[in-house]
Structure 1
Amino acid sequence: MTKYLISFPSAAMVVPAEELESVAAAAHAVVQEAKDAGVWVFGGGIDESVPPVLVDADGAAREGTYPQTAQLEGGYSVLELPSHDAAREWAAKIAAACRCAQEVRAFQYDPAS
Structure 2
Amino acid sequence: MNKYLLSIYTPEGPVPPPEVLGPIMKGVADVIQEAKDAGAWVFNGGLHAPSTATVLRRKDGEVLMTDGPFIEGKEYLGGFTIVQAADLDGALEWGRKLAQVIGLPIEVRPFVDDSERFDEPTGR
Q: Is the CA contact 2:52–2:67 (under 8 Å) kept in the aligned structure 1? A: no
Does residue 25 (structure 1) correspond to residue 33 (structure 2)? The answer is: no
Q: Aligned-pair RMSD on alpha carbons?
A: 3.0
* Structure 2: distance between partners of 1:41 and 1:59: 35
Question: Highest CA radius of gyration, 1 or 2?
Answer: 2
Residues 1:107 and 2:108 aligned together: no
Please identify runs of 4+ aligned residues in structure 1 that moved more than 3 A.
58-61, 64-67, 69-72
1:97 paired residue among 94, 101, 107: 101
State how far apart, in whole Å, the 2-side matches of 1:111 and 1:75 are. 28
TM-score normalized by the length of structure 2: 0.71
1:43-58 alignment to 2 at 5 Å?
43-48=44-49, 50-54=52-56
Structure 2 segments unaligned to the other structure (5+ residues): 117-124
Number of equivalences? 110
Distance 1:16 1:47, change over 3 A: closer
Question: How far apart are the structure 1 equivalents of 2:24 and 2:94?
Answer: 16
Change (3 A) 1:108 1:4: same
Distance 1:37 1:59, change over 3 A: farther
By relative contact order (CA 8 Å, sep 6+), the higher-ranking structure is 1
TM-score (norm 1): 0.77
